[in-house]
Chain A
Amino acid sequence: MKFLKNEIILWDSPNGINLPGNCTIVDTIESSNKQLRISEQKQIVNAINNGLFNMSAEFIWNRTIAILKDKVMSLGTDFVLEMLDRNINDSPENISHNEFIVLASELGIINKLAKKKFLHANELINYYYSRDAEQEMDSYDMQTIIIPCFQYILGLDTQDFTLEFNNFRERLKLEMIVKGDELYELLLISPYFYRRTTVKTILNLTKNTDGGEFEIVLNNLVTLFDGFWDSLISDDRYLIGMSYSEAVSNGMKELSTGIRRVLLKNKGFDYVPENLRSQSFIEYAKNLKAAHFGLDNFYNEAKPAENLANMGTIPAPAISHCISAALVSKLGNSYGVARSAQNYINEILKSIPSNRWEYYFNTSFPLDGDVLYKLLTNGKELGNWISYINELFTGKELSLKDANTNRLIQATLSKNRTSVINGATKMYNNLGI
């Protein structure tokens, strides 16, 4: 654990290497490369010197993402799928590059700046390789993609990747945490993202430990979930409720007893669903997001959007996931929106009643990194946001309790782009990821 300025961080992320500011791209590659073979390095340099920017960027990007994936997946497939709210029988092949980048940042494999740069690079790569690309990649965009790859991944030796998150996970597994402990107190005051990660990590550990380790994890489950129940948003309470439902259905006595204690003490049975239908909705929402952030999104978003629209009334545990997915598609990216998906997206958004919008804006929106990220720059997404929110709020009285959200929405309704960007930046930075 470290304290940097006034920011609490439970696990640290590598900040990459320092690259000289006034070198050519070829010099940068040749001086910083640690992961590519010499022959590969030479081929890349040749390609760049011959103006084959698409090819070199694609190769570097794919190699970088492959290494990043490996690092994330080293924590275990089940764990990764659960962190991404995916069904544990889903294939890791279905996880998008976008999801890997965001998760890598959340787990401290890359820092926040690296995440921003990689997300932008991902968007560029997807655009240039889509059927709608109107031009060849230029040198500037090629460097925008390649430089962060070397700075944060390809310029690091394998031993430079210390996964500090693993230490945290080990503590949850091996150390009996009690109320008043340093770690307990830290989690209570740290950014929300840490509590959410702790909930998911502990629930995952209950499935992957036994004997003495399981007893410790169970103790920590009761202590920590009880401790921060009040501060958990509904989505994460539903996660605990669904885990209880699963444990009871599988006859897992100790786990059922542990979670039941937490639910009884906190009157949390409203968050135990009567059925697990909401998991199907969450899966479809995830598929839509994956299509949006993946290759050829303008063509690939329509089908998952249609599937989600055809699912019918969205149950409460899935509402945030579905709204978030629909919004990212509605806002589009810096190249536009997937027009073929918009009819379905509009259908989904129209079907959401006012009380559910209120719930989303008051509890989930402040934590919705995917939507907030789209409002950080003065691009097409921002324009689409202003247009849609003005349409949504016309004739609607939504009670917004979160001050930051309220300010951002007011700025949106006033069409004040600068204020929206500032508000979104502040909220995004509060996420701590």
Chain B
Amino acid sequence: MIFLERIYFKEVERVFCNINEKEQLNMSEDFIRNYIRVMPSFFNYQEEEKSIKPNIIFSKNIDELFKTTPKSLKIHMADGDVEGNDLKRNLKIILPFCNVGWSLYVDFKKDKLEYGIVRKFTGISGFSFVEEIFLTPSSYESTSFVSMTLVSRFELLYRGLRGTESIIDFRFHEESNSKKEIVLEDLTNTFLEKSIHNKDKKVVQAINKLFYLANEKSHGSIILIIDNDCSELPTNLFMDNGVLFNEPIDIVEKLYETVTTEIIGDLITSTEQYYGISGLLFEMINIDGITLLSNDGKVLGFNLFANANKNTNIKKVVGGARKRAYNSLLSSELECIAGVYFQSQDGDVEFKKAGEVFEK
């Protein structure tokens, strides 16, 4: 007789129970069970064939927290039972809003759950609602707050005010991960290296935030940053398809105008311009191929594919298409390269500056 062995990740339920206790959320056992059932779907969540990256807050007494984050908006959308029997239905309705900058919240009241969305409005370089709460995590006695974010296709990060910082990793083996914050900081610094605004804290903060959002929205990307001092790129570095701008888009200058404009009319226009251009950049990064930037803060092209030939010194390398392109750019040792950024579909990120050794 053959016995079918079934393996469950029961450890996840234990961890989540610990989080509940530590963070004093008072979730019922039934709720935890219902939540654990839906959790795996977050890694590849879709509604109407549209991919959604969930961003959820579990809280107790969210109104108290809301008072401490001015310029925020909270919209109460539904009430649910404390066991979470309607959790899946409520998530289905509300999660799509996560894709347009909102966080879904589930607030644990005495005899019901309150579902809704919350968002903070702080402009280009400000903190999000969750970031602002976590500025002073130890200052809350009568409230509870746990945020859940999808870090990659396999990782859910839970952070709580009472010290929880756990990643539930659904992979079967240990992986060493580059810390996203450090990678994005390196990317930002290289992009601004020769920009005249690289000492302006607001500009640096805003660009960092921009790359952070691009990372969240993207399903995989390569960004190549070239040195603006290069007189010209090698012939046929890229294949014929793809877009190289005759006039590069100076996104950093647009940003600088926005953060320094005082006149209201001009501010509205330049802000709209900046958001328009940064929106283009998100889409460019998300499109297949390499997005080309220069290290003085400009966008040079997108949808580009490296051309492996003698002139370019790009060698053919094995691996997935995106990874291949990334590694072959690194191994090319082209002088014009200032840095290369890679984001896998699973969410892994890497950034190598010029001259860093190519590793298999």
Contact = CB atoms under 8 A, between A and B. Distances in A.
Given A264-B139, A274-B70, A251 B125 contact: yes
A250 interface: yes
B28 interface: no
Contacts of A264: 68, 136, 139
A10 interface: no
- Of B70, B126, B202, the most chain A CB neighbours within 10 A belong to B70
B132 interface: yes
Given A250-B201, A274-B71, A260 B136 contact: yes
Interface residues of B, number: 19
B127 A257 contact: no
Chain A interface residue count: which class? 20 to 34
Contacts of B70: 245, 269, 272-274
Interface of B: 67-68, 70-71, 122-123, 125-127, 132, 135-136, 139, 201-202, 205-206, 209, 262
Contacts of A248: 122, 126-127, 132
A260 B201 CA distance: 20
A135 to B, nearest CB: 45
A252 B132 contact: no
Interface in A238-283: 245, 248-253, 256-257, 260-261, 263-265, 269, 272-275
Given A89-B262, A250-B126, A245 B205 contact: no
Contacts of A274: 70-71
B125 A249 contact: yes
The residue among A89, A251, A253 with the most chain B CB atoms within 10 A of its own CB is A251
Contacts of B123: 249
Interface in A2-39: none
A250 B125 CA distance: 5
Nearest to A265: B139
Contacts of B71: 245, 274-275
A253 B135 contact: yes
Identify whether the interface residues of B are mostly helix, strand, loop, or mixed. Answer: loop
B205 A251 contact: yes
A263 B136 CA distance: 11
Nearest to B262: A89
A147 B227 CA distance: 67
A251 B70 CA distance: 14
B68 A263 contact: yes
Contact of A257 (B125, B126, B136): B136
A428 to B, nearest CB: 36
A256 B132 contact: yes
B135 A257 contact: yes
A253 B126 CA distance: 9
Nearest to B209: A251
Contact of A250 (B136, B139, B205, B262): B205
A257 B136 CA distance: 6
Contacts of B126: 248-251
Given A89-B262, A251-B209, A256-B135, A269 B127 contact: no
18 contacts: A87-B262, A89-B262, A248-B132, A249-B125, A250-B126, A250-B201, A250-B202, A251-B201, A251-B209, A253-B127, A256-B127, A257-B135, A261-B136, A264-B68, A264-B139, A265-B139, A272-B70, A275-B71
Contacts of B206: 251
Contacts of A260: 68, 132, 135-136, 139
Contacts of A89: 262
A269 B202 CA distance: 24
Closest 9 CB pairs of A and B: A251-B205, A251-B125, A249-B126, A272-B70, A264-B139, A257-B135, A249-B122, A260-B136, A269-B68
Nearest to B66: A269
Contacts of B136: 257, 260-261, 264
Contacts of A263: 68
Contacts of A256: 127, 132, 135
A102 B126 CA distance: 37
A256 B122 CA distance: 13
Nearest to B71: A274
Nearest to B120: A248
B68 A251 contact: no
A90 to B, nearest CB: 10
A360 to B, nearest CB: 24
Contacts of A250: 125-126, 201-202, 205
B67 A269 contact: yes
Contacts of B139: 260-261, 264-265
Nearest to A280: B264
A265 B139 CA distance: 8
A251 to B, nearest CB: 4
B186 to A, nearest CB: 18
Nearest to A244: B70
A275 B264 CA distance: 14
Contacts of A249: 122-123, 125-126
